[in-house]
């Protein structure tokens, strides 16, 4: 996988469009608690690792919704292909950087700081690798979702093996992987907006 995708403004525009579609689908579903109308209740993000300068303003907001019924105010945050849960790095960076084939060396960390983010550290890369190879395979999401693949995915090679399981070119692999992981980007139960 090429880290050049992290400089592709068309990719980040496409991911934003997908997130908007996911938000529209969630809004159409109404409030999960009372059935009320869902209004926009976006919240700020300070993402690292992309996107290119021309897309940064759109990536400073996580699309979210909140029930309009007074007294309810239940939050309904849709899945996202731009963010992987609460991680500060954009999802595309987490997936692509974690798919490195040759491990974490000082030279590679320095190169990634130059290409992805000057704040990227070796400890962050180790945490990401641990999440992919130790935490993700033990989740109920993974145990249920891995059955969708014709060929088994090698958990010891995540996320590279996940990317390789999708059809198309590099961009298609990345988008499909982010769509696949999107259920992990939101809580299963709604929480109060407060």
- What residue segments make up the domains of the chain, in order of their start? 3-192
pLDDT of residue 188: 52
pLDDT of residue 107: 80
pLDDT of residue 193: 40
Residue 32 CB coordination number (10 Å): 15
Tokens describing residue 186: 């939101």
pLDDT of residue 72: 95
Helix (H, G, I), strand (E, B) or coil at 123: helix
**DSSP conformation class of 177:** H
| Comparison of pLDDT for 106 and 13, the residue scoring more | 13
**With 70 as the cut, is the pLDDT of residue 194 above it?**
no
- The model carries a pTM of 0.90
What is the arithmetic mean of pLDDT over 90-111?
Answer: 83
- Residue 83's pLDDT band (boundaries 50, 70, 90)? very high
**Cα separation, 31 vs 185, whole angstroms:** 19
Tokens describing residue 84: 């992987």
Average pLDDT, the chain: 89
**With 70 as the cut, is the pLDDT of residue 156 above it?**
yes
């Amino acid at each position: 996988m090429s880290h050049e995708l992290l400089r592709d403004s068309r990719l980040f525009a496409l991911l934003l469009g997908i997130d908007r579609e996911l938000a529209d689908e969630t809004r159409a579903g109404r409030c999960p608690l009372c059935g009320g109308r869902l209004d926009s209740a976006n919240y700020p993000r300070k993402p690292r690792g992309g996107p290119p300068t021309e897309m940064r303003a759109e990536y400073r907001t996580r699309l979210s919704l909140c029930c309009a019924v007074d007294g309810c105010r239940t939050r309904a945050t849709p899945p996202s292909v731009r963010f992987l849960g609460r991680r500060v790095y954009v999802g595309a960076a987490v997936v692509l950087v974690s798919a490195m084939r040759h491990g974490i060396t000082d030279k590679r960390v320095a190169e990634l700081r130059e290409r992805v983010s000057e704040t990227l550290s070796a400890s962050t890369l180790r945490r990401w690798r641990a999440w992919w190879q130790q935490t993700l395979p033990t989740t109920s999401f993974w145990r249920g979702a891995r059955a969708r693949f014709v060929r088994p995915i090698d958990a010891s090679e995540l996320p590279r093996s996940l990317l390789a399981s999708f059809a198309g070119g590099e961009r298609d692999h990345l988008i499909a992987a982010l769509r696949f992981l999107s259920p992990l980007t939101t809580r299963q139960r709604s929480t109060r907006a407060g």
